[in-house]
Amino acid sequence: MLKFSATTCKQLTKVLIDWYHHHKRDLPWRHTRNPYHILVSEVMLQQTRVTTVIPYYEKFLSHFPTLESLASAPEQSLLRIWSGLGYYRRVRYLQAAARQIISKWNSQFPKEYHDLQTLPGFGEYTAAAVSSIAFGHKHAAVDGNVLRVLTRLVNEKGNVKKTAIRRKLNFAAQSLVSSVGPRSAGTWNQALMELGATVCTPQNPSCNLCPLKQWCSSVKAGTQCIRPVKVRPHKKEKMVTSVIVCTKNEQFLMRQRPEKSKIMPGFWELPEVEGQLLCETDLHEWGMKQLRRLSSFSHGITSRIYDVNVYIAASKGKPLRSFHWVPQGKLSTIPLTTITRKTLAILESISPEGR
């Protein structure tokens, strides 16, 4: 297993923590050790950029300032506040974790790493981040930024997605965090993340600014730009879908996605059908007529890219039971799918009145 010497660990960690205190970004979740606030930030930061997270973090905590307020919140309220941040399973796990903390630990946030791992949605990283930042426990929080720093530091030539390589790098990370002083584990973990986010970046790393360059094997070998080893990504599947905007008396025809849906369950959406062309049967069943094409746009998710065609239709008769007329003024109070939000934004840009 890869392990740094005790002397190297002490020198390296001291230098990076000093650098962090002088160069860290001023982020709202760095002003607290409240485990609930830290959990919210860590969950939001998964798969999402810091600049995107900041306003969502502040808005979320203004609506749900405590575990109790989160646990008792209606799901539709949660989804609406989270809307636009993506990966909506995260907020459901967040609420489930809050409820479990209240029921199992009498509203006292569990401090131990292994207890945290029993909470819904908690993996090794989230448990390590919360236990170290909130409680000072010495557990290595290894995210993508940290993995990149460690890979370059030791000039790892293997594929970091392979279990054996990850285990080796995790072991190295744990040897480093174990060497820091009392209550400094959270600072160290955040310092490594900060270095990866701002200096040891995926492309064009700023090695001349790196406080760890004297220990970096990749810098010495000149391989920092090819570490970690690049793995060719899978091609995204291309899909075509059509969205129909149908209004009546300042109301939009919409439906709510079923709770069993794999994508965005519980969210509201405009009528949508796969493919570019709509048949008359669909229009008749949906209570529509006089279809005309309005616009189009692209929308990407994890494994697919959608070409979205937007149509305008007039109301005709009573639609299917699964559809409802939603007042325009209520749209800001319900969770909307991303495609629906983008469609309504196009409509708003064409007609300021949204009709």
Cite the active site residues.
42
Residue 51's CB is within 10 A of a number of other CB atoms, namely: 7
Residue type, 333: T
Q: Sort 164 into a burial class: Cβ within 10 Å, 0-12 / 13-18 / 19+.
A: exposed
SS3 assignment, position 39:
helix
Q: Sort 302 into a burial class: Cβ within 10 Å, 0-12 / 13-18 / 19+.
A: exposed
Q: How far apart are alpha carbons 80 and 268 in whole angstroms?
A: 10
157 phi and psi, to 5 degrees?
Answer: -95, -10
Q: Is the peptide bond before 211 cis (omega within 30 degrees of 0)?
A: no
**Is 53:44 a contact under the CB 8 Å cutoff?**
yes
Tokens of 235: 């091609």
The residue assigned the tokens 């949508």 is 272
Degrees, nearest 5: CA angle 78-83-89: 65
Q: How far apart are alpha carbons 330 and 349 in whole angstroms?
A: 19
293 phi and psi, to 5 degrees?
Answer: -80, 135
Tokens of 66: 């405590």
Q: How far apart are alpha carbons 311 and 254 in whole angstroms?
A: 14
**Is 148:223 a contact under the CB 8 Å cutoff?**
no
Tokens of 189: 């973990």
